[in-house]
Structure 1
Amino acid sequence: MPGGRCVIVLAVAATTFVSTLLGGLVALRAGPRVGTIIALGAGVRVGAAFFDLGPEAAKEMGSVESAMVFAALGFLVFYLLERVTLIHVGHEAGMPVDRHEHVGTLGAGGMSVHSFMDGLAIGAAFHAGTELGLLIAVVVILHDFSDGIGTVSVLLANGAPRSTALRWLLVDAAAPVVGALAAFAIRIEGAALGALLGLFMGFFLYVAGAELLPEAHRKEQGWVVLAATFVGALFIYGATQVLAI
């Protein structure tokens, strides 16, 4: 990977760190529009999956069908991992929310795993090209703000002290940095890169549909959440069209 792209990756990694911290600080101040922010993050993930990761995966693999197979695999594998490891951070309808600190710790750990995978997605995207890398970086940076909110919120909601919430916030903020640098250090190209991008397409769709949107509607009611989701997806579509010029 060229040296200039290396500098960009490092700058992006630093920005994800700051974005997560800012989101956590907003949660500590109980921001009134948390649901809208989370919905926006869901929208940009959906947009990135369909308008960017999917097409790029198909291009690298030379087959739309193969790319979609890996996207489905990514969705299902992450669903399985969450069920097995119990790192699901959303609250299903009808389930009681237990106020126990260990529940909050599991939730924060799950958010950190998500963030690490986001970092891997950034690194993999930059292997495919600077334009794709920057677009996925924007998606992750926007989402990391809501990730910071989620990490702090799930801990405070389950009785953890603010000091514990701040420590986990730092872990969550560092996770995408570690992931991006790890993926950056490994040379990936061709069909292997396409398969990886397909997997991250599935991962993005799972997080948006199974994690973020239910949480957004739980925190905030009304049409604003729906509108924010559409705005996020359309923003990514517009960005892909601008970058294609």
Structure 2
Amino acid sequence: MSLIVIVLVTLMAGIGSVWVADQLVVRAQVIRRNDGHMQQGLLSLAAGALLATALLHLLPEAFESGAESHDLFLTLLVGLVFFFFLSKAQLWHHGHEHSHHEQDHHNTGWTLLVGDGIHCFGDGVLIASAFVADMRLGFIAAVSVLVHEVPHHMGDLVVLRQGSPRSAAVRKVSIAGAMTAIGGIAGYTLLDQLWDWQPMLLTLAGSSFIYVALSDLIPQLRQRRTTGDTSLQVIWLLLGIGLVALVSEFSHVGHAH
């Protein structure tokens, strides 16, 4: 019975956070293809959310775990190099099928989804470990995961919709979200072994978000150099950082372990 509950709850947390993020994006009417300023703002929001998720949530949690800092920094370096090679491999594979602009978004999408899948898998392990300790703690952890995933899923959807329609972007992120359930199953059956790897998973996921923000999003934002555009980008960037920081602060109790 416990495993069934874990699977259902992790699915709700993983995919539910994608649905909530999509509804917030759509209902706020922030996706307007004919509004260049709004798109620039959203890219800034996505960059801020991804960087904040990595630097204010994932990496601090990894370093607070007690793991060797040298090992974590090495994992971060390996992750950045890995996602660089992943983007190059995808660029080479699709070199004769898409334009350069389409290639960039396709490669970014793969990098984002791989990192998101690793992150969601780690969340599933966390939820499973909480359920094993106490049923109520498991539900608290699941709600915490759902809430703190919403801001960076909004960033994911903004990035992915640059090269895909809304339905495709939602499906892609939902697949990554479903990794939460897989992590829950693995965590329930292999908790002791996987828990030792949790800091590495957090660091690897963080490396993907940092790579996407710095290699794809920030360079796009640098193309607009007027004072008004720059001011708008800074405001949205800070909004993305603040949103993640605020949500992480409120959901921190669910991640206590």
Specify if TM > 0.5: yes
Matched, 1:52 2:50: no
**TM-score computed with the length of structure 2 as normaliser:** 0.68
Matched, 1:110 2:118: no
- Structure 1 gap ranges (5+): 88-97, 153-164
Following the alignment from structure 1 to structure 2, what is the Cα–Cα distance between the partners of residues 107 and 182? 29
**Paired residues of 1:74 and 1:202 also in contact (CA < 8 A):** yes
Q: For 1:17 and 1:151, locate their aligned partners in 2 and report how far apart those are by CA, in whole Å.
A: 19
Match of 1:30 in 2: 34
> How far has the Cα of 1:133 moved from its partner?
2.9
2:167 & 2:247 partners in 1: Cα distance? 35
Taking the TM superposition and a 5 Å limit, the aligned residue runs for 1:203-222 are 203-218=208-223, 221-222=229-230
Select the structure of larger CA radius of gyration.
2
Distance 2:176 2:223 in 1: 26
Say if 2:124 and 2:182, in contact at 8 Å, map to a contact too.
no
Partner of 2:9: 7
Shift of 1:242: 3.4
Q: Deviations over 1:86-136 (max 9, x none)?
A: 18xxxxxxxxxx9x9623664554354223531331231342352773465
- Percent identical residues: 16
Is 1:192 matched with 2:211? no
Residue 141, structure 1, aligned to residue 141, structure 2: no
Distance in 2 (CA, whole Å) between partners of 1:108 and 1:172 is: 13
Distance in 2 between residues matched to 1:198 and 1:224, nearest whole Å? 31
TM-score for the superposition, normalised by structure 1: 0.71
Q: What aligned pairs does 1:32-111 form with structure 2 within 5 A after superposition?
A: 32=36, 33-86=38-91, 102-103=98-99, 106-107=103-104, 109-111=106-108
Q: Which runs of 5 or more structure 2 residues have no equivalent in the other structure? A: 128-140
* d(CA) in 2 for partners of 1:51, 1:123: 19
The two structures, once aligned, show a CA RMSD in angstroms of 3.6
Instruction: Report deviation, 1:11.
Output: 4.2
Q: Distance in 1 between matches of 2:66 and 2:233?
A: 36
